[in-house]
Structure 1
Amino acid sequence: MPVTTDLEARPFSATLRASTLAVHDRANHSVYMNALFGGELPLAGYTRLAEQYYFIYQAIEEMSDAMAGDPVGREFVFDELRRVPNLERDLAHLLGADWRSTIRPLPATEAYASRVREASAWAGGYVAHHYTRYLGDIAGGQAIRRLLAKQYEVTEEGSLFYHFDEIGSAPRFRDRYRANLDSAPWSEVERARVVDETLVAFECNIAVFTELAEELRLAA
């Protein structure tokens, strides 16, 4: 992959973003996301996505705990980002008190969570998945928060996954995160590995959207 030639010419965070623009666009324009933003789904259709996120973020945040002692990985462990507590409140609101006994992961979700745990044997692999999910939630995910309020009148419980009050200024937090990416002591080869795993993370996300679309029988 011809990304390594750019690594010394610009900050790594910029290289990472540029290298994932195409796959990011594919995810944003998947059949499932088009249906969600097109107002074609009942609230239950969004709830199935929230269920999948619960399993995915469980895996990521388990790996955050494991990274607490890693000299590189710990720089990307932010307690204020943790989503599982908010997802638990959302699912209790959307599905009822017995939600834990009713939710189920899609095969693509199970594969995604497995990949997160496998990749996180190395800090760079952990960061690839962490970056893909959380920076996307802080930025583009806010469009879903607004949609939930407008389309389904869900503004608090049910949409807390997209509330990031604990991080303070979102632009400043993103700048801090990018600075950590730029200063991480990865070699040129290791940076290329991070880019590759970030692309894998996006593909895992797209696979979940694809299976949701199939389950919900959405037309392409």
Structure 2
Amino acid sequence: MSSEQQSFTVVLVDDHGIFRSGLRADLGEDLQIVGEAGSVEQAIEVIESKRPDVVLLDVHLPGGRGGGGAEVLRGCAHLLGTTKFLALSVSDSAQDVVTVIRAGARGYVTKSISGPEISDAVRRVAGGDAVFSPRLAGFVLDAFGGAKVHEATGIDEELDSLSDRELQVMRLIARGYSYKEVAKELFISVKTVESHVSNVLRKLQLSNRHELTRWAVDRKIF
């Protein structure tokens, strides 16, 4: 681990011990696992006790009132300002994705993700980004994006200053896409993406993509 790399504390929540063991082995050295849980009740207790930077949260958990990961989020709602939650599940259903995001999760990735990818996702969520497996991001956009954007553009001069393409790029960047992923999604070059991001940051008077993510989340347009 680089001496300059920031370290983050993590709690693992999954009802399969073998999967938790795999995560322990796969996560980067800068990600310190401070607790684990296998049920709704255990999760709320451990998260309350440890107050980690990030919780890797399975969507379907035993216990509680049957609410799974969303119930854990609701039980820890008072911690959402300091503890970030990243949903990690075998499920890629729109209902599961939207339910946990509505409850307060900052992202959602599937369990097919690799060790380096999940480590990067944890770091990005800890840093304020919203992170989604690419094919799942559309569910969030459908549930939260379209109507909110159209409502906002009528009254938000900053949003009005963005072109349609800049708005598309901004939303993908805010959802955690890399420049390369944005380029692939929109069928444009990485240099064009960089140019659009530069224009967006200038128009919105922001310094970096982390500030852009927070700006978009505040307006519920990610």
Q: Same fold (TM over 0.5)?
A: no
Q: As a proportion of its length, which structure holds more helix?
A: 1
Q: TM-score, normalised by structure 1?
A: 0.28
Q: TM-score, normalised by structure 2?
A: 0.28
